[in-house]
Structure 1
Amino acid sequence: MAAIPLMLDLKNKKAVVVGGGKIAERRVRTLLSSEADIKVISPALTSSLTTLYQDGKLDWHEKSFSAEDLQNAFLIVAATNDSEVNRAIIESAPQNVLLNSVEDAAAGNIQFPTQFSRGKLSISVSTNGSSPILAAKIKRDLAVQYDEKYEDYLDFLFEARQLIKRSSLSTEKKKQWLRRLVDEDHFHPEDQEFVLEQLNNIQ
């Protein structure tokens, strides 16, 4: 699979996860933050998935898989512990649907990278299935480097960028400001307030 990274908007899109075990649970937890319409197909669920179902976070169909379960799906995740069932899911998937195969990444057309977020900042790591353990290690290293202070910093950068875009500055001056925001240290709240005040005065 020649995979490229993409950011995907799944809000209100139908995501069908077939399987109710630990791997399916991990996929569901990743999807929860996307605000997708999550449907889980499985005769049984882990205790955590059961709690999510009881809390109204997902729709559970307590049954074995059938091809009809995939109708109108935007994203399908084959995550059972039965190779024959996973193969049936892949064969039943409609054309042009997003398909993730947990058992065999190459059998689908998308992968779930290991990832973490700091507010508006999202960082993902993938080894294209070569070594999930290495991907997890790199993620841990990056999580230390890009710690919680980046949450407020990204909020500041977003607000500053909006002010710059709306300003009467020339295109080149806008680029200079945008570069300055990341080239210089603007992590301290006092410094951020000073920069925003400057930008407000340009309007």
Structure 2
Amino acid sequence: MQQNSFAYPAMLDLKNKKCVIIGGGKVAVRKALPLIEAGADLTVIAPAVDPQLATLEKTGLLQVKLRAYAADDLSDAFVTVAATDDFAVNRKIAAAAPCLCNVVTEPALGNFSVPSTVKNGALTFTLSTGGMPALTRVLAQDLKKYYGPDFAEFNEFLQQLRQELQTLEITPEKRTAFWRQTLTQSVIDLLHAGQLDQAKESITDAVNRFRLESQNSPR
């Protein structure tokens, strides 16, 4: 079996980072939307662009340069996407890119790939099968069903409690130990069983006990 060369998963902070897409078609639109959502400073370069890209420029979400790719377009980019339908141009981009580069037509020429993403509130699941798009699509649909709306609500609930516990005068190690002891498979099983309120109640009880113990412990 051929090993997938994209073996190191990562989540990137692209806020205000310069990102460049070379190409202006439907693929460029698909690549642009998550970059915009991530807060990137996005420029699209192509002789002509899809109407949706033109609309996004009018709303200030990206910049469009209506011209062909030039060698210096990538000089200060953080991420580049080669999204033209011209294999030769995409290869030139991949060879010249001094940054993270995703190549649509020949992914192996780039140095990163974009996995399938399933979002549920603040939860983000990424999925890659190493080259089986049909299986990736089915598994993504399964993930979306398996981790439904209750998980997004529960995650938001936990974030609020986490902020409250950070105000307690205890060490980070004790907070970490508490969460590891409290967030167990049994809590996740409650969520899968549709018992969100019971899951919240069990965590709330544990937090209240922990808060009381922390307040009564000697300084």
Normalised by the shorter chain, which TM-score bucket?
0.7 to 0.9
Q: CA deviation at 1:143?
A: 0.9
Aligned to 1:133: 134
Aligned to 1:199: 207
Structure 2 distance, partners of 1:164, 1:177, is: 13
The correspondence for 1:39, drawn from 43, 52, 66, is: 43
Q: CA deviation at 1:193?
A: 6.5
Q: 1:160 to 1:179 in 2, by over 3 A?
A: farther
Aligned to 1:151: 152
Q: CA deviation at 1:191?
A: 5.9
SS in 1 for 2:190: coil
* Conservation of the 8 A alpha-carbon contact between 1:161 and 1:178: no
Aligned to 2:181: 176
Structure 2 distance, partners of 1:181, 1:38, is: 44
Aligned to 1:102: 104
Question: Which of 1 and 2 has greater Rg?
Answer: 2
SS in 1 for 2:184: helix
Identity %: 35
> Does residue 57 of structure 1 match 2:57?
no
Q: 1:24 to 1:194 in 2, by over 3 A?
A: same
Q: CA deviation at 1:73?
A: 0.1
SS in 1 for 2:102: strand
- Which stretches in structure 1 are left out of the alignment for 5+ residues? none
* Conservation of the 8 A alpha-carbon contact between 2:18 and 2:78: yes
Aligned to 2:196: 188
Q: CA deviation at 1:63?
A: 0.6
Aligned to 2:26: 22
Q: CA deviation at 1:164?
A: 4.0
* Conservation of the 8 A alpha-carbon contact between 1:13 and 1:36: yes
TM-score, structure 2 normalization: 0.80
Structure 1 distance, partners of 2:185, 2:135, is: 34
TM-score, structure 1 normalization: 0.86
Structure 1 distance, partners of 2:190, 2:33, is: 34
Q: 1:181 to 1:58 in 2, by over 3 A?
A: farther
One-letter code aligned to 1:160: L
Aligned to 1:72: 76
One-letter code aligned to 1:125: L
> What count of residue pairs does the alignment treat as equivalent?
200
Q: CA deviation at 1:148?
A: 2.3
> Does residue 142 of structure 1 match 2:143?
yes
* Conservation of the 8 A alpha-carbon contact between 2:21 and 2:43: yes
Q: CA deviation at 1:50?
A: 1.7
Q: CA deviation at 1:155?
A: 0.5
Q: 1:180 to 1:123 in 2, by over 3 A?
A: closer
> Residue by residue, what CA displacement relative to the aligned partner does 1:13-33 show, whole Å, maximum 9, x if unpaired?
011000011111111112121
